[in-house]
Amino acid sequence: TNLAGAASKDNKRYFGDAYQSFYLADPRYGPILDSQFSAYTPENEMKWEVIEPTRGVFNWTGSDLIVAHAKKTHSIVRGHNFCWDSQTPSYVTSITDPTELTQVLEEHINAVLGRYGNDLYAFDVINEPLNDNGTIKSSVWSNVLGENYIETALTIAHKAAPNVKLYINDYNIEGVNSKSQALATIAKNLLDKGVPLHGIGFESHFIGGELPGDISQSMKQFTDLGLDVAITELDIRVPVDSSGIANATVRKLQADNYATVVQACLDNGNCPGVTVWGFDDGHSWIPGVFAGQGDANLYDFNYQPKPAYYSTLAAL
């Protein structure tokens, strides 16, 4: 039995992993990817800085490999991302003219979706647009185009790839709070205007023992509008020792937390699936960004399943 099979059986959900194509150089990575996961997100290789590092010069290497791998394993792909305040080259972030920025955005989206439009299930068109207080985050997009950039990017993307589900993806919206309420208002206004928006991504980079108690209620804010809500970047970080490992008590708590998140998805008829942001601790972004924390994933540094793996499988 495996995560993807369990997710698809009664509930018809996918269970996904975010990875980079070169992780497969380790012969231990592919067998777990192929046997446990049915959806892939390119962890970095569809980001602007990787895929169009210079205007009009495209690097399809990594993204081609992930899309080809998905075809081979009959998996789906969630593209990630177009408009973000990070990992965007300076030739984009230095633009101050709205017409030029819109032109560059349109060229970029048309190129990426022109190549992959028929191969993708969904795309995080807008990534992390809000501050925690619910205001629009400063970025080249909001600074030059105003809040309208969201509508502009979604409209361009839908025209380029009408079958791809278009998402706004963010963190700290997994509970009912200022940020998720502001996003629900934005989403409702977009839908009222007929803007092509199909889903909201709950990143779900959680801290062990600190899950919001109202994930289901927060999901409902969006699914009541007719949107999907996917869990897009799940990991649950915990305090670790000097070798990057957590103790058994903490791992048990973490395992319960993983099950809670999966259950929230299963409890909502419009949550199509869960994606973990890397399946093993050896390929996690957490230790590099959050000092003293880690052990956030389903498998340990030696590709052995942890309690969180078994609790996730049992919850599905």
**What's at 83, amino acid-wise?**
C
Give yes or no: 151 in active site: no
Number of residues engaging ligand XIL in binding (CB under 6 A): 6
Per the CB < 8 A criterion, the answer to whether 252 and 217 are in contact is no
The residues, any chain, with a CB within 8 Å of residue 116's CB and separated by 6 or more, are 63, 67, 77, 79, 161
Per-position DSSP letters for 121-175, written without gaps between them:
SEEEEEES-B-TTSSBPPSHHHHHH-TTHHHHHHHHHHHH-TTSEEEEEESS-SS
Q: Between 251 and 283, whose beta carbon lies closer to ligand XIL? A: 283
Give the residue closest to ligand XIL by C-beta: 285
Selected binder of ligand XIL within 36, 38, 44, 155 (CB under 6 A): 44
Residues 51-110, interacting with ligand XIL (CB under 6 A): none
Residue among 7, 17, 19, 43 that touches ligand XIL (CB under 6 A): 43
Q: Identify the three-state secondary structure at position 310.
A: helix
Using CB under 6 A as the binding rule, whether residue 127 contacts ligand XIL is answered as yes
Q: For residue 261, which of 296, 226, 224, 291 has the smallest C-alpha distance?
A: 296
Residue 129 CB, nearest approach to ligand XIL (Å) = 11
From the CB of 177, what's the least distance to ligand XIL, in Å?
18
Tell me the C-alpha distance between 109 and 314, whole Å. Answer: 39
Give me the least distance between CB of 203 and ligand XIL, in Å please.
6
Q: In the complex, what is the shortest distance from the CB of residue 297 to ligand XIL, in angstroms, rounded to a whole number? A: 12
Query: Which residues contact ligand XIL (rule: CB under 6 A)?
Result: 43-44, 127, 203, 233, 285
Name the residues annotated as catalytic: 233
